[in-house]
Amino acid sequence: MGLSVDAHASRSPTRQETKEIREDAKLYLRGSGWRVSGIRVSTVSDHYAKAAVQQGKRGPAGEMILHLRHGIWHEAF
């Protein structure tokens, strides 16, 4: 007997979450031209999310971990 478990630990954000995460993430990024994409919200705790960030087409890029506190997404690391 085989058991199937759905082990996804993240989900796509709602439209409102996407808007808030994009706006709040940019508060922690220096300079202009940052794009925030690839957003995923944790299904273990919906107070955590990750987002890919990139400045321009060839600028620095990385991934942010964000934590929702008091209605604002803060950079966790």
DSSP structure string for the chain: ---------EEPPPHHHHHHHHHHHGGGS-SS-EEEEEEEEESS-TTEEEEEEEETTTS-EEEEEEEEETTEEEE--
Rounded CA separation 32/38 (Å): 19
pLDDT tens readout for residues 28-50: 999 999 999 999 999 999 999 99
Q: How many residues does the chain have?
A: 77
Segment 9-33 mean pLDDT: 96
Q: What is the mean pLDDT of residues 11-39?
A: 96
Q: What is the pLDDT of residue 77?
A: 76
pLDDT at residue 64 tops 90: yes
